[in-house]
Amino acid sequence: MTDVAEEIPFDKKQDYDRESEILKVLGHPIRLKIVAGLMSQSCNVKKIWECLGLPQATVSQHLALLKNKDIITGRREGVEVFYQVTSPEAKRIVGAIFHGEINCR
């Protein structure tokens, strides 16, 4: 019989701090929904709060936190800012959770 610890491939060189921080931020359902929605397309704040059915101020607070943690970035087009997921770690984590089953149209 083999030891269970030998069967789990832990990468001792991998730094899990960044992934842990992202998991903490994505632990809030609204932020998880925002990031999941932004995985398939960039959106402006108005589209995000319309899709979520939440007040603009609430969505803006969550977007600010996601930006501060370098999970998303904003791109200005005229008077609008379009957000997109730029963190490869967040893309991996959310992609593993939803397997491409995300849509807000």
- The domain ranges of the chain are 17-97
DSSP-assigned letters across all residues of the chain: ---HHHHS---TT---HHHHHHHHHHTSHHHHHHHHHHTT--EEHHHHHHHHT--HHHHHHHHHHHHHTTSEEEEEETTEEEEEE--HHHHHHHHHHHTT-----
Question: Regarding the domain delimited by 17-97, which CATH topology (the fold level of the hierarchy) does it fall under?
Answer: Arc Repressor Mutant, subunit A (1.10.10)
| Better pLDDT: 10 or 94 | 94
pLDDT in tens, 15-74: 788 899 999 999 999 999 999 999 989 999 999 999 999 999 999 999 999 999 999 999
pLDDT above 90 (res 102): no
pLDDT of residue 99: 74
